[in-house]
Chain A
Amino acid sequence: MFKRKIVGAVLLLGLVGPCAAQAADEPRRSAAQADAEQKSWEKEFDEVCSKTQDAMTFSEEELKDLIRRCDALLPQIEKLDESQRKVHLGRLRKCRGLYAYVLDAKGNEKK
C-alpha cells in the first residue's frame, strides 16, 4: 500500500515537475522572444531608414521595395509602448514619405 503511494507520488512529481518548470520558464522565454522581436524590427528599421540620404540615387523599383519594407514595419511599431511607438511612427512616416516623394518626383520628371 505504502509502496503504491510512493510510486504514485513519484509519477505525479514526474508529470507535474517538468510542466511547472516549463511554466516558470515561459515568462523568461517570452521576454527573450520579445527582446528578439524588438531587435529584429529595430535592425530592419535602421536598415531601411539609413538610406534616406541616397534616396535620389535609387531606381523606381528600389524605392518601391523600400516603401514596401516601411509598410511591413508599421504593424510591428504599432505594437510598441506609447512613447517608443510615437517616436518611431513619426520617424517611419518621414522615412517612408521621403521614398514616396522621390518616387513621385521621378514619375513627374518622366511626364
Chain B
Amino acid sequence: MPTSSMRKVMRRNERRLLLLVAVWGTLLQANALLAQIYLPKPPPEPSQYGKVILDNHAATGPGPVVFDHWLHRSKFSCRLCHVDIGFAMQAKATGISAASNREGFHCGACHDGKHVFEGKTIFAACGDTAEDKQCSRCHSLGKKEARKNDYKEFTARFPKGIYGVNWEAAEKSGIIKPVDFIEGVSVKKAPMQSREDFAVEPAFSWVNPITFSHKKHSVWNGCELCHPEIFPAAKKGTIRYSMFSNIEGRYCGACHGKVAFPLNHCQGCHASGPLWAP
C-alpha cells in the first residue's frame, strides 16, 4: 500500500512527465511549422519557371510584359543580359521603359529592328513606326494572342533533366550555344580562364558535400555577376551558407529557385542527394 508521501511523489512525477510531453509536443509543432515556412516551395511547371512579369507602366501603357527566361537563356549567357545590357537581378530594379528601349538600351540593345540573330532580324522593341508596332508580342499578359514561341515545341529536342530542360547538357551537346558578346554593347575580353571547381563542406553530418562547379558558373555568369554582390569577399568560414538563406533568395538562391534549377532538386548540388535518399 503506497503511503501518502509516496502518492505525493508519484503525482509530482506524473505532473512533470505531463509537462515534459507538453513541452516536447509544442517544440515538435513549432519545428514542423518552421519547416513549412523554410521548405522550398514546389516550383511551377517548367514552362512557367523563370517567367517574369514586367508591369512598370501597366496602368497607362499597353499592359504588362511577359518575359520567358527559357527562351532567352537558350540563346544568350546570363552575363550578357545581366552585366552588359544591365538587367538587374531584382524585380523593378532595372527601370526599363519604352524610351530606354528605343534609345537602344535594355530590350532595345538587341530588339532594335537591325540586329541579326540566327539569320533573322530581331524585331524592334517599342518601335515607333507602324510596321514596328507589335506591342502584344511582349506586352502579352492576359491577352489571347498566342505567343510566338511555345515551350513544349521549342524545347522538344532539348535534353531533359529531373526538372524540365537540362541546360548544361543542352549546351554540352551543342544544341544550344549561348552567345556572350554583342557588337556595340559588350566589351571585348580575353577568353575566360578555366576556374577550379571546389568542394563545399556542409555544416551538418547528415548532408552530402557539394562539388561547386566554378567553371560552369563562371562561363555563364562571368565573375562580376556573382562577386561581390551575391557572394561578397569574406574570410574563409565567416559566412555561413544555408538552405534558409538560399530560400530567402540570397547566395545560391539568387538564381536557383528562380531561373536556375530549383532548390528542391537536392542532387543538383549535393551530388548524391540527402543521406537518407535511396
Contact = CB atoms under 8 A, between A and B. Distances in A.
A76 interface: no
Interface string A72-91: 00000000011110111011
A87 B109 CA distance: 11
Contacts of B84: 91
B66 interface: no
Interface of A: 45-46, 49-57, 81-84, 86-88, 90-91, 94-95, 97-98, 100-102, 104-105, 108, 111
Contacts of B228: 97-98, 100-101, 104
A91 B86 contact: yes
A11 B234 CA distance: 75
B109 to A, nearest CB: 8
Interface SS, A side: helix
A49 B233 contact: no
Contact of B223 (A52, A84, A86, A91): A52
B105 A53 contact: no
Contact of A83 (B105, B233, B235): B105
A83 B189 contact: no
A94 B192 contact: no
A53 B190 CA distance: 7
B213 to A, nearest CB: 17
B100 interface: yes
Contact of A86 (B95, B192, B227): B95
Contact of B187 (A50, A57, A84, A108): A50
Contacts of B225: 94
Nearest to B227: A101
